[in-house]
Structure 1
Amino acid sequence: MTENRYEQPITIHEAVENIHKRQYLLPGIQRHFTWDTERIERLFDSIMRDYPINTLMLWHITDPELKRNYQFYDFIRNFEENRSGGTRNEICSTTGQDDFDAVIDGQQRLTSLYIGLMGSYTAHKKNKSWSKSGNFIKRKLYLNLMKAADSNEDNLIYEFKFREPSDADEKLNDGDFWFPVGNIMAMAKPGEDNDKDDYADDHQLPKAARKMLARLYRVIREEHSIVCYRQNDQEPDKVLDIFTRTNSGGVPLSKSDLIMAIATSSWPELREKVETLTKDVWNDTGFSISNDFILKSFLVIYSPGSIRFKMKNFDQPQIKNLQEHWAELAEVTVHTFSFLKNQNFSNDSFRAKNAAIPLMYYFQETGLYQTCAKTTFSTKEPTAGITTDIIHWLTISFLKNIFSGQTDKLLRDLHDIIKQYGTNRHFPFSEIIREFRTTNKNYTVDDDFLDQILDYRYQRPGTEYVLRLLQGAINPELNYEQDHLHPKSVFGNKKELEATFTNNEDLKFAEDEANWNSIANLQLLEKISNIDKSNTPLAQWASNPSVSANLYIPEGTSLELKDFRAFIEARRSAIRRMIKEAVTQ
């Protein structure tokens, strides 16, 4: 394999000919052409002024498998504006084709050169209807050879302009001579018939115009102004990495953006379907999901091998696989986020979106995605136990930041555990804990960790997760909120506290916010029940038969305010024991 290297510079004429002969093509990672006529005109002005054109980056394609499995596109020659942005590149079949170069950096510049020298630009008249053909004007690029060489207010010296072809072109008229720039491509070499000098003689061009025509010929036909770096390595992902680091097309692209472009090149409807799915999830559940999330979900659920964002994971057979499973993937996605919404998670409180992917796989693998969003899913056996295990797994994952950092291996391992142990009557929470015990993603909770989370305070980050861990499955038809068991109001009443606590140490304990405003005095309560509770003393409220929540208060523990210290200590111990049991099953 020839090493990657800079090639000998070539002329603009050679580059455009390479496009025309399909020696240069565009890979699926490239975006649509976006330059307008003014930007193209400015490019040609820069070329005439000998400003450098940035290096082109080429990927030399020799591998038959790449030619067969990846989509490549022709350059646009005749661009037409439309409501959707304009002419799109057409697919070019490369199966069995001779070796060629895929342009991975330089698309906008090369397309502009191709349009200016061999094509046209059809523009829409501003503020006119898009439905009438008369509101579109087909223009070609011209250079006014009679323009004086002094810069104007736009800092342009040469008057390049996209104009409608007319009989007045190529004639001296009112001090102007509009030369079709594309004609320079067919002019003969100096000294041969029909060269630039013959053209100047035939049109009786004055000296200044002859000089400008000669300059145009030189910068297009003679100057070796285009420098190319050729990547000969046939490994697609190396090229993808190079593209993300060097692309100069404007807004930087992530690998997932590029993968989406590749996938869309093989399945044009994909982008619209992804947009529809993200809107459906947002409208139905209030969760926002990204292209990255959707593509990763597909790999985890339906791809048997690697789940990394690599080009080979999105070749044409894989995109066909995605297309075949799209309807189910979309349904699983919507239902999973509906389940999370019903379980009182929100876009803000669901700390790591990737944590939804193993859950989606579990629902898809077991078929439970068809019922998981229903209100009955979390309130009736056997799904109540499944829901509680899911909540325990999610909340411990969030509390321990299991989904921080790189998650590909984590997602693949979770997939394998769910596939082996998950059933429609069992979510494998205990198996996940066991299998991850010796990894850096373990769910172990030591005493230091427990002390830390038990000190979380009312409505602070992490508190919701600890309370969700205690609550387990909730009734989706009810709203829940954090509140204090011993009412918060009593701890702001110094006189009442001094009257209640005769022991000074007990008084200081009750006054300390770290005790009355922390997990040991907090609970997720049904909103209606919480309204009823309000400032009611705990002992009185808990005696009501309608209070059904598991408060994790050991039997025999006094609920009277005067015994607050013993209550907090007993409840901390009970919560500590519950969490340890949950992650050591």
Structure 2
Amino acid sequence: MRELEQRGIAGSADAFQRLYDLYEAVRILKPMNYFLVTNQDADKVLEIFVRVNSGGTTLSYSDLLLSMATNQWQELDAREEVRSLVSEINSNAGRQFSFSKDVVLKTALTTADVEVRFKVTNFTQGNMAKVEAAWPQIKGALLRAATLLQQFGYNERNLTANSVIVPVAHYLHLRGAGDSYLDSTADAADRLALQRWVTRSLVKRGIWGSGLDTLLTRIRDVLRTNSTNGFPVAAVAEAMAAVGKSLAFDNAEIDELLNLKYAGQRTFSVLSVLYPGLDLSKKFHEDHIFPKSRFTKKKLLDAGIPLDSIDDYLAVVNLLPNLQLLAGTANIEKQDGLPAEWIETAFPSEDKRATYLAENDLDGLPLDLADFTSFFEERKQRIRTRLLAALGTTPGAPEEAALS
């Protein structure tokens, strides 16, 4: 009331009511709840803070840990270094990825040989000194790993697990791989082995989900002792299997892959397994062998397809056996033409046509839509055989014969 008098509004009913409303809210209604935390575990406190703060400007656990790192780095600004590296990985040099600060931090901890879990106790001054000292190497390894993934044909749409870059970058760091590794003939076989491992891990369900820190730690342990003679596919696969992350596929999993759809999360990876001879550093599209634009009820009827068969056509047009990887320019040229007509134009010589048909499992390609369903089933079986040969074997076993 004294404050009201000093402001010359003591007689204002509105001013008095506002003050009383404030008093009632704080002293009587008590809408502000609190919970007294007696646990001194800093990780628990951070977890509560993240949850409570979710209604405002969202801060992740890694944001808070990054603040701790920023306070402990001596020469560099950790927050700015991580932010700029995330931007560079995702968008420079034609890259289109969506890697987060979490992935960069996880890679930094892995490479600096620090416990990989995001815990306050791991962000000690000593550990952060290790990370800062190794930062130039961490940065270079991550940039090269992102370029490799780009060369493998991946981008933000089809890279289904960003965490796969962590062991790739760590391996490149252990090898001391420079920019020449990305395109040298001498390292071509090692890059292929790394690509097959990455692709297999992305095709297999559940690899990069729960138990990530345990998985990354096991892979790191293997890489530290087995990286002198190339990427140790078999040893890594064995370590992954030991923590319930086997890269082997059974028949049921292979059959599931045959039902992947156009533009699905794993479709690109499976197509790259099926046809490994493609230079995926160039732009390739997922292409319908028989163009989707022709699969409407009216167009199918006009093409002479019986009415009782139309639902069968529509049910499978977007499935894997009607898909292939096609270079961007070729896909534009093909447009909605029937495949046999396009192949005749694109490959004038009989030898080149025969090679293309064989490499893409297109033997018996019909001239029109009348025999599409029988072609679909035949190609489905050929693809199944090829997938069993490529994925059904033990990871690290020779696959060249199966994939050639």
Q: What is the aligned partner in structure 2 of residue 265 from structure 1?
A: 71
Q: What is the aligned partner in structure 1 of residue 47 from structure 2?
A: 244
Please state if 1:256 is matched with 2:62.
Answer: yes
> Is the 1:263–1:314 contact (alpha carbons within 8 Å) kept by the matching residues of 2?
yes
Aligned partner of 1:263: which letter? A
Choose which of 370, 387, 392 in structure 2 pairs with 1:579.
387
> Is the 1:355–1:394 contact (alpha carbons within 8 Å) kept by the matching residues of 2?
no
Please state if 1:294 is matched with 2:99.
Answer: no
Please state if 1:355 is matched with 2:188.
Answer: no
Please state if 1:416 is matched with 2:221.
Answer: yes
**CA distances 1:85-143 after superposition (whole Å, capped 9, x unpaired):** xxxxxxxxxxxxxxxxxxxxxxxxxxxxxxxxxxxxxxxxxxxxxxxxxxxxxxxxxx9
Aligned residues: 360
SS of the aligned residue for 1:451 comes to: helix
In the TM superposition, residue 327 of structure 1 has moved relative to its aligned partner by 1.0
The 1-side partners of 2:361 and 2:271 are apart by 17
The verdict on how the C-alpha distance between 1:316 and 1:549 changes in structure 2, with shifts beyond 3 A counting, is: farther
Choose which of 235, 252, 263 in structure 2 pairs with 1:448.
252
Q: What is the aligned partner in structure 2 of residue 12 from structure 1?
A: none
In the TM superposition, residue 481 of structure 1 has moved relative to its aligned partner by 0.5
Aligned partner of 2:123: which letter? F
Choose which of 131, 144, 169 in structure 2 pairs with 1:322.
131
Q: What is the aligned partner in structure 2 of residue 465 from structure 1?
A: 269
**CA distances 1:209-251 after superposition (whole Å, capped 9, x unpaired):** xxxxxxxxxxxxxxxxxx9979685xxxx22312431587865
The verdict on how the C-alpha distance between 1:381 and 1:532 changes in structure 2, with shifts beyond 3 A counting, is: farther
The verdict on how the C-alpha distance between 1:572 and 1:310 changes in structure 2, with shifts beyond 3 A counting, is: same
Please state if 1:401 is matched with 2:206.
Answer: yes
**CA distances 1:4-32 after superposition (whole Å, capped 9, x unpaired):** xxxxxxxxxxxxxxxxxxxxxxxxxxxxx
Aligned partner of 1:444: which letter? A
The verdict on how the C-alpha distance between 1:146 and 1:485 changes in structure 2, with shifts beyond 3 A counting, is: closer
**CA distances 1:374-422 after superposition (whole Å, capped 9, x unpaired):** 5x36xx5642562364255335425413112331011112222333444
**CA distances 1:57-98 after superposition (whole Å, capped 9, x unpaired):** xxxxxxxxxxxxxxxxxxxxxxxxxxxxxxxxxxxxxxxxxx
> Is the 2:150–2:281 contact (alpha carbons within 8 Å) kept by the matching residues of 1?
no
After the TM superposition, which residues 217-228 of structure 1 pair with which residues of structure 2 at under 5 Å, given as runs? none
The 1-side partners of 2:17 and 2:356 are apart by 73
Instruction: Give the TM-score, by structure 2 length.
Output: 0.73
Question: Percent sequence identity over matched residues?
Answer: 23
After the TM superposition, which residues 150-169 of structure 1 pair with which residues of structure 2 at under 5 Å, given as runs? 152=15
The verdict on how the C-alpha distance between 1:429 and 1:534 changes in structure 2, with shifts beyond 3 A counting, is: farther
Please state if 1:281 is matched with 2:89.
Answer: yes
Q: What is the aligned partner in structure 2 of residue 370 from structure 1?
A: 179
The 2-side partners of 1:536 and 1:361 are apart by 46
Aligned partner of 1:307: which letter? V
In the TM superposition, residue 581 of structure 1 has moved relative to its aligned partner by 2.7
Aligned partner of 2:284: which letter? Y
**What do you get for the CA RMSD once the two structures are aligned?**
4.0
Aligned partner of 2:88: which letter? D
After the TM superposition, which residues 17-28 of structure 1 pair with which residues of structure 2 at under 5 Å, given as runs? none
Aligned partner of 1:314: which letter? F
SS of the aligned residue for 1:321 comes to: helix
> Is the 1:392–1:469 contact (alpha carbons within 8 Å) kept by the matching residues of 2?
no
SS of the aligned residue for 1:287 comes to: coil
Q: Which has the higher strand share?
A: 1
The 2-side partners of 1:397 and 1:410 are apart by 14
**CA distances 1:181-220 after superposition (whole Å, capped 9, x unpaired):** xxxxxxxxxxxxxxxxxxxxxxxxxxxxxxxxxxxxxxxx
Choose which of 528, 533, 539 in structure 1 pairs with 2:329.
528
In the TM superposition, residue 315 of structure 1 has moved relative to its aligned partner by 1.1
Q: What is the aligned partner in structure 1 of residue 120 from structure 2?
A: 311
Please state if 1:432 is matched with 2:236.
Answer: yes
The 1-side partners of 2:238 and 2:342 are apart by 40
Q: What is the aligned partner in structure 1 of residue 309 from structure 2?
A: 508
In the TM superposition, residue 580 of structure 1 has moved relative to its aligned partner by 2.5
The verdict on how the C-alpha distance between 1:328 and 1:549 changes in structure 2, with shifts beyond 3 A counting, is: farther
The 1-side partners of 2:190 and 2:274 are apart by 14
Specify every segment of 5 or more residues in structure 1 that has no aligned partner in the other structure, as ranges.
1-47, 50-142, 158-226
The 2-side partners of 1:435 and 1:356 are apart by 18
The 2-side partners of 1:537 and 1:422 are apart by 48
> Is the 2:289–2:323 contact (alpha carbons within 8 Å) kept by the matching residues of 1?
yes
SS of the aligned residue for 2:260 comes to: coil
Specify every segment of 5 or more residues in structure 2 that has no aligned partner in the other structure, as ranges.
21-33, 395-404
Aligned partner of 1:558: which letter? G
> Is the 2:295–2:317 contact (alpha carbons within 8 Å) kept by the matching residues of 1?
yes
Instruction: Give the TM-score, by structure 1 length.
Output: 0.53
The 2-side partners of 1:572 and 1:230 are apart by 60
